[in-house]
Copies of this chain bind each other. A is one copy, B any other.
Amino acid sequence: MPAVLSTHSYGKSGIRVTRVTRGTERHEIRELSVDVRLEGEFEASYTLGDNSQVIATDTMKNVVYALAHGRPAEAIEDFGAALACHFLDEFAHVHSAKVDLAERPWRRISVNGRDHPHAFEGGQGELRTASVTASRAGLRFEAGLAGLDLLKTTASAFSGFIRDRYTILPETADRILATEVQARWLYGRSSRVNWDDAHSRVRRALLETFAGHTSLSVQQTLHAMGEAALVACAEVDEITLTLPNKHRVLVDLQRFGKENTNEIFVATDEPYGLITGTLRRA
């Protein structure tokens, strides 16, 4: 046999669960999509078709539903930890369980200026994410966000870059900067974290820095955003930001006898710049 199975894992992805907490006055709703992924002693299922150590992925789905029941309207980090620990506690041959969670936000509908007790709008756009990994060494918590669209119409420049025979991009002192933020940050192992509050502080630092920063490049804005997040949330050890540069291309209107002083742009999806960086607490 020429082959060695060097790494392997398996699990269930896209487990959607809606949790309603039915208070006497008002209802809470949380909608998640959960992925479960296990590593451990599953080689025989690959090499021999011996399933005696296999936890069916259908069972993983049921665990998500069953554990969601009876729990409070908690942060996704806590729910993820409960799930990850379940698999480690129940099965000695599981080495690690990774649970990825993504929550779509629902906002209460405002009726006559008052929040409605059980009717909601939203459910699209930005996601709050978490990734909880349980291993025999302990728990590891990452949190994040995805799908957060940000745009500024000025206070963004890009100049001084290398010019060679393939460079035609003009330098600019004033452009639109638009991105769809993907952020993931790692909490320190020793800290007790208020997940909702920490998430809110990191998110606010990212937004306010994006807004207030005078940008010389996406790279520089990324660094400023990451630094601000570390300042705003001492519980965070490390943050990774992925910022696509969602170009707004200035339209040449001179051909139609008009001067376009940064007013009319075309949004393009492809190609796009993609800038990433990880900042660690020094």
The number of chain A residues with a CB under 8 A from chain B is 140
| A138 contacts B by Cβ under 8 Å | no
Q: Is A80 among interface residues, defined by CB-CB distance under 8 A?
A: no
When the two chains form their complex, are residues A17 and B150 in contact, meaning their CB atoms are under 8 A apart?
Answer: no
A residues contacting B by CB (< 8 A) are 1-22, 27, 29, 31, 33, 35, 37, 42, 45-59, 61-63, 65-66, 68-70, 90-91, 106, 109, 111-112, 116, 118-126, 147-155, 158-162, 164-169, 176, 178, 207-208, 210-212, 215-220, 222-223, 226-227, 230-231, 238, 244-245, 248, 251, 253, 255-258, 260-282
Partner of A211, one of B33, B62, B111: B111
Contact of A217 among B13, B51, B227 (CB under 8 A): B51
Instruction: Find chain B residues with CB under 8 A from A165 CB.
Output: 256-257
Find out whether the CB atom of B63 lies under 8 angstroms from the CB atom of A120: no
* A27 surroundings in chain B (CB, below 8 A): 153-154
- Residues of chain B within 8 A (CB-CB) of A21 are 263
